[in-house]
Structure 1
Amino acid sequence: MANTLNSENQFTLVIEAGRADRHYWLDIWRYRDLFFFLVWRDILVRYKQTVIGIAWVVIRPILTMLVFTLVFGKLAKLPSEGVPYSLMVFSGMLPWFFFSSALSESSNSMVTNSNLLSKIYFPRIIVPISAIIVCLVDFFLSFLVLVPFMFYYGLFPDWKVITIPFFLLLAIMASLGCGLWLSALNIKYRDFRFILPFIVQIGLYVSPVGFSSNIVPEKWRLLYSVNPMVGVIDGFRWALLGGNFKLYLPGLYASIVLTLIVFMTGLSYFRRTERTFADLL
């Protein structure tokens, strides 16, 4: 928008179409205070008026680890690649719980913040990104539990631990890409909020959380790796536990390519549809 002085010495407001689009990415930085406010608000809301508070971040993966260890380790007697089965499960739980939480929170974030979206302008992508940042806080708290757990079993990571940020970034891009798709679709088709829990539940069992992906037959490994979390979980175990955990490189490349495709298409679809969000909400 620009102000121009006409012949009668009065200001005329000129609205230029598309100007907000041209400044979109710059506006993300300009609205950084709103971004930080949303992150801090969501952290406070998540643990406010709860009985066990932030301890739930630790209790949930531990309880799930115990169940998976009993079912897959004790009853099914699946191999653990030379490490304690509970430790193998816990190392797979960390990236999976981050992904599932980030996907759920980002997918519902636009509807949850509908009052804010309908009142003021700001780059809408701030909302799902802030939801994912909150889930990162949970991830780091859970990761702190894994460290003494590894020391207890006498396992110490080697140089491969420096690759953890790469696999975490892959999980962030996968969750954000899917979250952008679903958050936009959730506004237009509200029944997606009923489908999402089912998708997350199925994803838990088709991802190598409670077992090692090495049990998948070689001829199916590449197809199995179409699930981007396969490469992330295998990468976490390779970086943290070492031993017999090896990176299946064709599968890792497939996970990276698919994650990039989902992220770019999700970003493109979100940007094309976000101007209609306020009307639909």
Structure 2
Amino acid sequence: MRHSSSLVVIEPNKSWFDLKLRSFWDYRELLYFLAWRDLKARYSQTVMGLAWAVVQPLFMMLVFTVVFSKIAQLPSDGIPYPLFAYAALVPWTYFAKSLDRSGFSVVAESNLITKIYFPRLIIPLSATLGGLLDFAIAFLLLVAMMLWFGVLPTWKLVTVPLFLALTVLASLSVSLWLSAFFVKYRDVAALIPLLTQVWMFGSPVAYSASMVPQGWVAFYNLNPMVGVIGGFRWALLGTPAPDPMFLAVNVVTISVSLLLGMAYFNRMANTFADVI
């Protein structure tokens, strides 16, 4: 019997943008294993199991409904406020949880990093992709709420995967920076919860983007989650569509941040085993 073997040559990156993307395919089984292991660890020995995926957005929706709809009486673009808020909380919760898991992922895998070679980018990527199951479960509840409130989906529903892809890329682009910084600066552990809290109120989660003063609109739309959340509401609930120009700016912002984040992460990955 013949056994095939392959030789892997490990050498420093020749440039900042030597991303070696082919290695993701070569190590696809490791990517799958890490994502699956994260899911099993998260839900093993839990009473509610996968139901925890909807607990946070559901309770946040209830709090927002009381505070922002009943007390502050904020407008919701003609949509029942619980549905209006939950439609934004589904992508936002995925984004926030991805930052939390991915930001600490490299340090959490220190034993693996110091023992074997593999593309380090797989670690934050697996942590980001591991949240898609939670997203899917929360999305099913969103569909049930739409039927309950009599809001039927239209052809716009086919654009949801595009906005989900933007959410994943936005999460990964930020996570790469945070995870690389956290290896060297443990202050990032305190920064991530603060960042997500401030970022949430800087995004149209609890309120409509139409409430933003005109003079702040251009600056406000630099936030990529503005286009993502607006896109989800438009695709599912029929609210006003995001401005195409600002949505294009969001795509460019996410793309540039992701490319630079991958370059910086790969450059710093050469020192991870020594610093950790």
Q: Please give the TM-score of this superposition, normalised by the length of structure 1.
A: 0.90
Q: Which residue in 1 is equivalent to 2:77?
A: 81
Structure 1 residues 92 and 19: CA distance shift in structure 2, 3 A: closer
For residues 195-274 of structure 1, the aligned pairs below 5 Å read: 195-242=191-238, 244-274=239-269
Shift of 1:249: 2.4
Shift of 1:62: 0.9
Give the partner amino acid of 1:279.
Answer: D
Structure 1 residues 225 and 112: CA distance shift in structure 2, 3 A: same
Gaps of 5+ in 2: 1-6
When structure 1 is superposed on structure 2, of 255-264 and 122-131 the one drifting more is 255-264
TM-superposition CA deviations, 1:189-212 (whole Å, max 9, x none): 111111111101111111111111
Give the partner amino acid of 2:130.
Answer: V
Shift of 1:23: 9.5
Aligned residues of 2:87 and 2:233 also touching (Cα < 8 A): yes
Give the partner amino acid of 2:168.
Answer: I
What is the SS of the residue equivalent to 1:115? helix
What is the SS of the residue equivalent to 1:80? coil
**In the aligned structure 1, how far is the partner of 2:180 from the partner of 2:193?**
17
What is the SS of the residue equivalent to 2:252? helix
Greater relative CO (CA pairs within 8 A, separation 6+): 2
Aligned residues of 1:221 and 1:251 also touching (Cα < 8 A): no
- Of the three residues 13, 17, 37, the one matched with 1:41 is 37
Structure 2 residue 260 is the aligned partner of structure 1 residue 280: no
Q: Which residue in 2 is equivalent to 1:130?
A: 126
Give the partner amino acid of 1:149.
Answer: M
Q: Which has the larger radius of gyration?
A: 1
**In the aligned structure 2, how far is the partner of 1:186 from the partner of 1:256?**
26
Shift of 1:20: 10
Q: Which residue in 2 is equivalent to 1:3?
A: none
Gaps of 5+ in 1: 1-12
Across the aligned residues of Structure 1 and Structure 2, the Cα RMSD in angstroms comes to: 1.9
**In the aligned structure 2, how far is the partner of 1:239 from the partner of 1:49?**
37
Give the partner amino acid of 2:275.
Answer: L
**In the aligned structure 1, how far is the partner of 2:77 from the partner of 2:198?**
24
Q: Please give the TM-score of this superposition, normalised by the length of structure 2.
A: 0.92
Aligned residues of 1:222 and 1:254 also touching (Cα < 8 A): no
Structure 1 residues 43 and 198: CA distance shift in structure 2, 3 A: same
- Of the three residues 137, 143, 146, the one matched with 1:141 is 137
Give the partner amino acid of 1:275.
Answer: N
